[in-house]
Chain A
């Protein structure tokens, strides 16, 4: 929609099970920054049922205002109701910017909201900046295998300027429970929408093990592990990280572990976000299989091991000392959460 007097940066506060998602917190952090550049307010839009007690959270993480809709119709995400409430509030309050985390829900919701409002929407952004001259939102996203970056701007008739933001990129502010803000109750809006899609039931499922080619994190094991008896530490690390296990040729040949796990020239090619090479020398036969990994960590006793040539983080040390320490700290941090 066109709009002469739009102000404010809004963030859709996605929540589940009574907690704001980490994507939401990151969004508030970025939103605060944008609001500051525009010298305007940051508002969160919080939809749910039984979420009144959550309303203070966005404020603690940077919002000045929270538009709160607490209504049984909002207990679970439904397209028509969520779209309807957000669109109505946007039309009334006219924000200049509306942000969502790039999540499954927002991929269902944000495009519909944008279409109904006649707003421009840029998806999966990794950077948001207010241009100092034009005061317009410049939304940047990666494309074509993350090798190019593209910046988008909305023409004047397309307001609010909308974007979904890739989780894990922006930074949340440190929580300030004492921070003060305004809570505006818009719950009544949730009553009036016709839902043409009916949720019959919801089913939770245990997560299946990922194929090596689709694993997000892989722990790689090589000759350096030493023996079948000593292989347990690799399993422990994989469990602690929720990772899959891959190997060079030797652990398979030696029978230290079974399964379709060999990575390299005669095995699989993988590109996890994180690859931790334990006791792997880094011979080219194996390296070619992990070349495109996001981040590579290497642990090896030999400071001249070739693996360090392609590692982002290298540790010269005995994996049987380093891994247990690593596992301990990871597990301890998990318990604290």
Chain B
């Protein structure tokens, strides 16, 4: 096995790093403070080709493969975790439309998402459920050549930004079905963005659908195919969150190492003390393990494997270990870590989210056990 990055992988990683340093790092603190990611950042990412990397060139992507995507995402999430969720959303929504959509749907919605002109959303969760399709209450009723959608979607990431939302609704009561809804149209109403603990600027809203009328050709896939569409996207979401966790943990660790070298006690850097050294070592090991498990999972996908089990495993693993590593990095900072001026403070606030969303750790455990016991 050759674990070295290829020339192509190194160049992709470097390019993403350059972008993140030039465009995101300078506004990182501001994004967190103002709880807002500038919309144009998506366009800038689009210009470089970062948004739809693993999607087919035919639809505005780069056919980069998923390992390249992960390598880029890792760099892009490093300065501040919320700025690059544009990349996660574009791929999740874009891939869903490409796998299950008609040519018209693909041509209409995917290229503008890859340029950043439109922002995608993935609207499954509702007040009553985050993971169980049977509990969905959003309804899609036929009206001649149209569908009429009624219901409430919760935690609709970027639900307030123009673009296609893949909305999961029940048809005839029990058939979970996916639809493409152009956001912010008639009947589509967003709440104010949630005031979250961390990853500030991601813009997550509740959306109320009141008789939202969409043309019949906005059905995504087949009636009743909704759950399959949901599942097909799960692995990608898990990969994305795993590498996001890795990036956040690495950023926290880098800050802790710097701090350990600079902060002195009685004229000696605190990094010379065993207690600090052990914290740094334990954090570093967690970052390394999470990173390579994520890379491997992405590489498996590129090789054609179905990674339902592996992606669940790495999400469970990386999100938890990253949280631990960030906690250790904050501990190194002592009370200074608690001050807003210090990067580790906002990373600490943000990293916990990864264990809770897109299939909480509990859900992942059930999935993994399911694979093991069957």
Could you tell me how many residues of chain B have their Cβ less than 8 Å away from some Cβ of chain A? 12
- Determine if A287 and B341 form an interchain contact, defined as CB atoms under 8 angstroms apart: no
A284 to B29 CA separation, bound complex (whole angstroms): 18
Interface residues of B in 298-349 (CB under 8 A from A): 336, 339, 341-343
Is A40 part of the binding interface, using a Cβ–Cβ cutoff of 8 Å?
Answer: no
CA distance A266 to B30 in the complex (A): 10
Q: Which residues of chain A have C-beta atoms less than 8 A from B343's C-beta?
A: 265
Q: Is the CB of B336 within 8 A of A266?
A: no
The interface size of chain A toward B, counting residues with CB under 8 Å, comes to 8
Selected interface stretch from B74-82, B107-115, B133-141, B262-270 = B262-270
- With A284-B336, A285-B341 in contact, is A266–B262 under 8 Å at CB? no
For the complex, is B86 an interface residue (Cβ under 8 Å from A)?
no
- A-B pair count, CB < 8 Å, reads 20
Asked if B365 is at the interface (CB within 8 A of a chain A CB), the reply is: no
Q: Does residue B10 face the partner (Cβ distance < 8 Å to A)?
A: no
Q: Which of A265, A287, A291, A309 contacts B342 (CB 8 A)?
A: A265
Given A265-B342, A266-B341, check contact A309 B258 (CB 8 Å): no
Among A255-293, those with CB < 8 Å from B are: 265-266, 284-285, 287-288, 291
Judge whether B259 is part of the interface by a CB distance below 8 angstroms. Answer: yes
Max chain A Cβ within 10 angstroms of own Cβ: one of B258, B262, B336, B341? B341
CB proximity of A222 to chain B, nearest CB, Å: 15
Tell me which of A284, A287, A309 has the highest count of chain B C-beta atoms within 10 A of its own C-beta.
A284
Say whether B259 contacts A284, CB under 8 Å: yes
Q: Which residue of A lies closest to B334 (CB)?
A: A284
B29 & A266 in contact (Cβ 8 Å cutoff) = yes
Contact with A along B234-263 (1 / 0, CB 8 A): 000000000000000000000000110011
B262 touches A309 (CB 8 A): no
User: A265-B341, A266-B341 are known contacts. Are A284 and B262 too (CB-CB below 8 A)?
Assistant: yes
Give the distance in Å from the alpha carbon of A3 to the alpha carbon of B42 in the complex. 66
| Given A266-B29, A309-B267, residue A288 in contact with residue B262 (CB < 8 A) | yes
Inter-subunit contact A309/B264 (CB<8 Å): yes
In the bound assembly, the distance between CA atoms of A123 and B259 in angstroms comes to: 36
Cα–Cα distance between A291 and B264 once the two chains are bound (Å): 13
Instruction: Please give the residue numbers on chain B whose beta carbons come within 8 Å of chain A beta carbons, in ascending order.
Output: 29, 258-259, 262-264, 267, 336, 339, 341-343
Q: A266-B29, A284-B336 are in contact. List 10 more A-B contacts (CB 8 A).
A: A266-B341, A284-B259, A284-B262, A285-B336, A285-B341, A285-B342, A288-B258, A291-B262, A309-B264, A309-B267
